[in-house]
Amino acid sequence: MKTVDNFKLIRDYIEANPCDEDHFYFVQVLVRGKDGHKGEAGINGNNKNRMIKHYTIQTPEELDKFEYEMKGIAELVNGRVYIHPARRSFNQVATEMLLEYATMMKTGSLRQLKSAFSTAAGKSHDERVYIVDIDDVDFNDKEEVCKYVNLILECSEDKTLDRLRAIVPTVHGFHILVKPFNVKKYAEAIGKSIDECVKKNNPTLLYYKSLD
């Protein structure tokens, strides 16, 4: 059985990057196809993810308040808790929701109305936090972690550690949360496509406990 619990790390992240009244962190409890019941329809086309619940978190205290609930739901459905490290704006999400509603009305897909907020929140962000995805590397191997951090800094105009936001353990490796940098140069350096190694509007892992 493997458990990845990043609540303390993410609590510190939210404290270091606080929200004003209009902004929030978007948290989702998801069942992924590879973890949950295979064959069920996904929530975003063919990604085979099924969203169980979402949260809007503005403070570390709010994260504390819902920690037990998030973990309990994730364990019950063999799901994962994810957080988008780029803050969302309630105003921008509301505007995007209006566009979603209009599209649903035009296409006759009004049964999807309940998903409008999560879809809008997934799209809308007014800050940019890239996620560099490192798989099959032990998070505790500090030499390997530093190698990737140094490579990212080499591919950045601002070569200081201020560019880094956090390093987050995942099930098979870790995520490096970083301000925008030269992703093309980075991808070429490690011999992968940009889409394989850098995500520009994705969530990072908050909690997962396998049932195996």
Check residue 105 and give its pLDDT.
79
- List the domain range (segments joined by +) for residue 30: 3-123
Is 50 exceeded by the pLDDT of residue 199? yes
Residue at 208 is within a domain: no
For 187, how many CA atoms within 13 A lie in the half-sphere containing its CB? 13
Is 70 exceeded by the pLDDT of residue 146? yes
Closest CA to 74 of 86, 82, 84, 83: 82
Looking at the structure, tell me whether residues 193 and 91 fall in a common domain. no
**If you average pLDDT over residues 190-208, what whole number do you get?**
95
**Based on the number of CB atoms within 10 Å of its own CB, is 167 exposed (0-12), middle (13-18) or buried (19 or more)?**
middle
126 within 8 A of 92, measured Cβ to Cβ = yes
DSSP letter assigned to residue 87: P
171 within 8 A of 4, measured Cβ to Cβ = yes
Is 50 exceeded by the pLDDT of residue 44? no
Closest CA to 84 of 210, 204, 166: 204
d(CA 34, CA 72): 19
**If you average pLDDT over residues 149-170, what whole number do you get?**
88
Looking at the structure, tell me whether residues 170 and 189 fall in a common domain. yes
Looking at the structure, tell me whether residues 15 and 112 fall in a common domain. yes
Of 77, 107, 123, the one marking the end of a domain is 123
pLDDT-wise least confident of 12-21, 112-121, 176-185: 112-121
Closest CA to 85 of 17, 173, 171, 7: 17
Concatenated DSSP letters of 10-67? HHHHHHHS---TTEEEEEEEEE-TTTS-TT---SSTTS--EEEEEEEE-SHHHHHHHH
User: How far lies 15's CA from each of 60, 81, 163, 201, in Å?
Assistant: 6, 19, 17, 21
Q: Which amino acid is at 110?
A: L
Of 123, 153, 180, the one marking the end of a domain is 123
Residue at 13 is within a domain: yes
- Structural domains counted in the chain: 2
Check residue 39 and give its pLDDT.
47
**If you average pLDDT over residues 136-156, what whole number do you get?**
91
Of 123, 147, 162, the one marking the end of a domain is 123
Looking at the structure, tell me whether residues 69 and 106 fall in a common domain. yes
Closest CA to 51 of 94, 84, 18: 84
Average pLDDT over all residues of the chain: 88
Closest CA to 36 of 72, 63, 86, 76: 76
